[in-house]
A and B are shown apart, each in its own frame.
Chain A
Amino acid sequence: MTDYKISAKDVQVYYGDNHAIKDVNVDIEDKTVTAFIGPSGCGKSTFLRCLNRMNDTIDICRVQGDILLDGEDIYDPAVDPVQLRAKVGMVFQKPNPFPKSIYDNVAYGPKIHGLARTKAELDEIVEKSLRKAALWTEAKDRLHSPGTGLSGGQQQRLCIARAIATSPEVLLMDEPCSALDPIATAQVEELIDELRQSYSVVIVTHSMQQAARVSQKTAFFHLGNLVEFGETDKIFTNPEDPRTESYISGRIG
């Protein structure tokens, strides 16, 4: 059971009276890209946000069930969500760089977590993260100009660099390409494939082609239920559930 990076058992999420996630069981492997697909409003983002307890910030949101990270329950009262989020990083749907310089954006995480003791170490982390996020060549000459001055695709890669600068073990991405053009999307997808070498990546996407291209495992959500979860190839070529089939053939969604 500890082979899995994250395992979720009987997870229920309520927004007030709205039962948004029903009985979800899912196991996420290390060094794998797992895609969450499903029609809009089916609870993909909600479930993703359970994995780093970002739902804690929503007052009316209640989570039940167990979510284990390396075998430890992340909803245990002893767990500090801030510490958890340093391990489980997140990239959001809309690029949201801080209104600071590119350098400061990437350096912020390592700074608050005390990952660098000297300026040189910090510089190194920033360079490594920007390189991994495939932004180094574009950004190295303008590290001290504002991150918000970058193009949409560059901003999203900056956010990815910022997320990996804290050396997380899991990277959650909520529709990271929905605001990007096809070229930027291709760059980010390539990047996700690279990131798989070091991290467990969970990506929410509304594009089935994207799920097919980048992921090894796919989970299909429908109306708050996890309908089907398995090898991406199998889900797309030979789904078991009729709802999955009609979604990927374009009949629901």
Chain B
Amino acid sequence: MTDTPKFTSLKVQDPHTKNRNAAEKRFRSYGIIALAIGGLFLAALTFTILKSGLPAFTQYVMKLDVTLSQEQFDDAESQLLKTAVYRDIFVDNFAAQLDAQGVDVAYDAAALERMLGKVGGDIRAHYRENPNDIGVPTTFQLQLSSRVEGYFRGRVTRDTLVDSRFLEKADLDVVDVLRDAGLMTGRFNWAFLTGTDSGVDNPGGAGIGASVIGSFFMMLVVLFLSLPIGVAASIYLEEFAPKNRFTDLVEVNISNLAAVPSIVFGILGLSVFIQFMHLPQSAPLVGGLVLTLMTLPTIIISTRASLKSVPPSIRDAALGIGASKMQSVFHHVLPLAMPGILTGTIIGLAQALGETAPLLLIGMVGFVAREFPDGVAAGFLDPNSAMPAQIYTWAARADVGFYEKAWGGIIVLLVFLLLMNAIAIFLRKKFERRW
């Protein structure tokens, strides 16, 4: 009954094809929309972080040349109220400089103190530490008080400022004049990168340097414990262990451990390492141990996955010419799995670097990072904080000045994370077999 097939032109799409093409087009546009939304979020996030965090990298200072003679120094040191003497010396120099520049503005010593804090102490400290500067003109860059800094950043305005012992509206006129005269300027805030945490009332002096060092020592512990332990465990489980109930159980538990909230590891660290083993509190060593526990499952899972992805024919080839199991693993399987193992390890480390909760439990809170460790042993054992814990501490403080420090800290943390990812990509490219 069926007659010869009717001629259909390929230039006309049949309804079936049309539907299929429409579906494909729809799916593609979903994909593009999803990507665009993701990109938008990323852009917004980057913008917010940079906008809120970049101010932390500038610092507002007053530049002033001061000359202190030996007699003045000796005289001041013999007084009872030493810093007051230094303050007066400072005020004299300040007045002289204003005269020299032809700047005319009304101020008093109390106003200077409101703008600059206790300058007498700063100056005394400088000359006591650098006796060679006595007698020669020295340029001081004195940090402005947090409210004046707020005025520079636009956080404090004449409308919002309420006169107080910290700052008065009239002071802002002085600030304006000094700024126009070039005496008050902004500069790159090295102290933020190289400094330590400051007191709760001094956001300007807070730096993240000490907690970067804390994080660094922690990462050393994590790397040197979790990489060998994780890789050895994975090789054993993947290549040598008999497949039975027990190894199945181990496997399930490792997967579960990877999903355990980090704070649980923190409590474990607190009770085992500190309360039971009496390791020092707040020490990067303990933080590293806790983070090692947390990172191990990640490393084991990714290492096993990369060992699994090595074709079995390579193992057969090695065994077939009389290589032992261990030779086949170390000569052939491991080199092929290396890029995956390293990537997994660095991702695990990056995760550990950003972890906060367990560190708070073992006492590595931000305010502990008050000084740099001297020496490697102290780096591991002396109380310190770590970047994310420091950021958390800053964010929790009342003074708004700490708010931008927290954001600035996030930028530093992100830079380190990007760096680690770049290293991961580099290693993967380097170890990847090109054949």
Contact = CB atoms under 8 A, between A and B. Distances in A.
Interface residues of A, number: 31
Contacts of A149: 435
A126 interface: no
Interface in B307-322: 311, 313-322
A52 interface: yes
A98 B319 CA distance: 12
Given A59-B243, A149-B435, A109 B321 contact: yes
Contact of B322 (A96, A113, A146): A113
A237 interface: no
Contact of A109 (B314, B322, B324, B336): B322
Nearest to A109: B321
A57 to B, nearest CB: 7
Given A59-B242, A112-B327, A146-B435, A94 B322 contact: no
B433 interface: yes
B317 A159 contact: yes
A238 interface: no
A166 B319 contact: no
Contact of A99 (B242, B320, B321, B433): B433
Secondary structure type dominating chain B contacts: helix
Contact of A148 (B319, B323, B435): B435
B331 interface: yes
Interface string B314-349: 111111111110010001100010000000000000
A186 interface: no
Contacts of A84: 322
Q: Which range holds the interface residue count of chain B?
A: 20 to 34
A90 B313 contact: no
A135 interface: no
A57 B317 contact: no
Nearest to A53: B319
A112 B314 CA distance: 16
Contacts, number: 72
B6 to A, nearest CB: 43
Contacts of A57: 315-316, 319
A83 B313 contact: no
Contacts of A52: 320
Interface string A214-236: 00000000000000000000000
17 contacts: A57-B315, A59-B243, A86-B321, A89-B320, A90-B316, A94-B313, A96-B311, A96-B313, A98-B317, A98-B332, A99-B433, A108-B323, A109-B322, A146-B435, A163-B320, A165-B321, A166-B322
Interface of A: 52, 54, 57, 59, 82-87, 89-92, 94, 96-99, 108-109, 112-113, 146, 148-149, 159, 162-163, 165-166
Given A97-B317, A112-B323, A149-B435, 18 more contacts: A57-B316, A82-B322, A84-B322, A85-B321, A86-B322, A89-B320, A90-B316, A94-B313, A99-B336, A108-B321, A112-B322, A112-B327, A113-B322, A146-B434, A159-B317, A165-B321, A166-B321, A166-B322
